[in-house]
Homo-oligomer: A and B are copies of this chain.
Amino acid sequence: MATPEKIRNIAEKIKVRVQQGEKLVVVVSAMGESTNQLIDLAYSISGNPKEREMDMLLSTGEQVSASLLSMALNGTGVPAISYNAFQLEMVTTKTHNNARIKDLKLSKLQRELETHDVVVVTGFQGITDEGQITTLGRGGSDTSAVAIAAKMGTSCEIYSDVAGVYSCDPRVEHSARKLEYITYDEMLELASSGARVLHSRAVEIAKKYSVKTYCASTFSEERGTYLVNNIPEWLEQPVVTGITTDPNQMKVTLSNIPNDTGLISRIFIDLAANEVNVDMISAVNDNGHSHLTFTFISGNYEIVRKTLNETLKGIEGWKFGTNEDVVKLAVVGVGMQSTPGVAGRFFGALSKDKIKMLATTTSEIKISVLLHKDESEKAVKVLAEEFGLLEAD
């Protein structure tokens, strides 16, 4: 949705589908850079705009896209109408800038589908029960689309500038392989580890309601990737499906805090209360004191710092250190569950190349490590080779 020409182009593609007899709900995001432009505008006016007002501002971006796409569809003869989240009663929680969808009332949407072939809906936004406008955070349009599909019991297609899900980032590793299928669980692990094809909340909803979801490029005809419950049996099941890296991580080290599990759990409860997701926690005890390490998204630095200062108020001698030069790397695959020795191969491959691991966590289908930033590319290459993730030349 970057330019008027692209919007007309999308309308033509939708028209083909309508001519084949389909009725569609099309969820749109804002045009190109318009969200960033609105954010810049806000910060040119106030150094610290309220999140509630940011949502009033940003939600206009999707409304512009929705009305323009509807006009483009009408222009090609397709009966279409646009609606914003407010009008469709897409009810969310009250957390401005990062709200979660609570309920969708579909009656209006379904009524409009009786008289229109296409209903264009603003993604990324909602309203609270009190009628306040909220936004769902970055990638929120994916979440809106999957949520509507879930509630309507239909399938969902997500079009973006990424042509599907790859075994690893094609910008880093050119021989990355595009996956034809990926399971919800794998995609969830990849998305939460930084792969940006699909927002992890969207994947959670797709998994919960088994929404058949397809990710492909808006403008190429290239085949994309299907999200499924299980990889079709006739496909060879790889042990590892994908590798992903997330450079937007920061590591914090708290030293010299009392060795008190009550206190340590309070730290994480307080961080969670401030909506900070922490990961890769490790704690070391030393003469009655604890040293605590964990990672979080760099953007949360201010709130982490503030929360820790409050939680640790009155405690003497504690120290706070951060490291931004880190990358979280994860390998993901449902095949791990039934294949022993994956961790051994993983650590073996990294240590053979002398890549230093700063922290590690594992789940049933994922192994994550924290690495120095400058070793991340090498690590992806080594692991992609080890687990056979590259295109055969």
Chain A residues packing against B (C-beta within 8 Å): 4, 7-8, 38, 41-42, 44-50, 52-54, 56-57, 59-60, 63-64, 66-68, 70-72, 74-75, 81-82, 84, 86-87, 108, 131-133
Q: How far is the CA of A66 from the CA of B57 in the complex (A)?
A: 8
Contact A45 B75 (CB under 8 A): yes
The interface residues of chain B lying within 8 Å CB-to-CB of A50 are 70-71, 74
The interface residues of chain B lying within 8 Å CB-to-CB of A68 are 41-42, 45, 57
Q: How far is the CA of A75 from the CA of B50 in the complex (A)?
A: 9
Asked whether A45 and B81 contact (CB < 8 A) given A54-B67, A64-B60, the answer is: no
Q: How far is the CA of A75 from the CA of B132 in the complex (A)?
A: 21
The interface residues of chain B lying within 8 Å CB-to-CB of A108 are 131
Partner of A67 from the list B7, B56, B71, B131 (CB cut-off 8 Å) is B56
- Report A225 CB to chain B, min CB distance, Å: 31
Contact A57 B63 (CB under 8 A): yes
- Report A70 CB to chain B, min CB distance, Å: 5
Contact B60 A46 (CB under 8 A): no
- Report A108 CB to chain B, min CB distance, Å: 8
The interface residues of chain B lying within 8 Å CB-to-CB of A44 are 4
The interface residues of chain B lying within 8 Å CB-to-CB of A133 are 87
The interface residues of chain B lying within 8 Å CB-to-CB of A82 are 53, 56
**Chain B residue with the shortest CB-CB distance to A76:** B46
Most buried by B among A48, A60, A108: A60
Can you name 10 extra interface pairs (CB under 8 A) apart from A45-B75, A53-B71? A38-B64, A41-B64, A42-B68, A45-B71, A47-B75, A53-B81, A57-B67, A57-B68, A57-B71, A60-B64
Q: How far is the CA of A53 from the CA of B71 in the complex (A)?
A: 7
- Report A238 CB to chain B, min CB distance, Å: 44
The interface residues of chain B lying within 8 Å CB-to-CB of A46 are 71-72, 74-75
Q: How far is the CA of A57 from the CA of B120 in the complex (A)?
A: 13
Q: List 29 A-B contacts (CB under 8 A).
A: A8-B45, A38-B64, A41-B68, A42-B68, A46-B71, A46-B74, A46-B75, A47-B75, A48-B75, A49-B71, A49-B75, A50-B70, A53-B71, A53-B74, A53-B81, A53-B82, A54-B67, A56-B82, A56-B84, A57-B64, A57-B67, A59-B63, A60-B60, A60-B63, A60-B64, A86-B86, A87-B131, A87-B132, A87-B133
Q: How far is the CA of A7 from the CA of B46 in the complex (A)?
A: 11
Which 7 pairs from chain A and chain B are nearest by CB?
A46-B75, A56-B67, A60-B60, A57-B67, A49-B71, A46-B71, A4-B44
**Chain B residue with the shortest CB-CB distance to A80:** B53
Q: How far is the CA of A49 from the CA of B67 in the complex (A)?
A: 9
- Report A153 CB to chain B, min CB distance, Å: 25
Q: How far is the CA of A8 from the CA of B43 in the complex (A)?
A: 12
Q: How far is the CA of A71 from the CA of B38 in the complex (A)?
A: 13
Q: How far is the CA of A67 from the CA of B38 in the complex (A)?
A: 11
Q: How far is the CA of A44 from the CA of B60 in the complex (A)?
A: 19
Q: How far is the CA of A338 from the CA of B59 in the complex (A)?
A: 56
The interface residues of chain B lying within 8 Å CB-to-CB of A70 are 50, 53, 56
The interface residues of chain B lying within 8 Å CB-to-CB of A75 are 45-49
Q: How far is the CA of A64 from the CA of B46 in the complex (A)?
A: 14
Partner of A42 from the list B49, B54, B71 (CB cut-off 8 Å) is B71
- Report A36 CB to chain B, min CB distance, Å: 14
Asked whether A49 and B64 contact (CB < 8 A) given A56-B82, A84-B56, A87-B131, the answer is: no
Q: How far is the CA of A48 from the CA of B74 in the complex (A)?
A: 9
The interface residues of chain B lying within 8 Å CB-to-CB of A42 are 67-68, 71
The interface residues of chain B lying within 8 Å CB-to-CB of A67 are 42, 53-54, 56-57
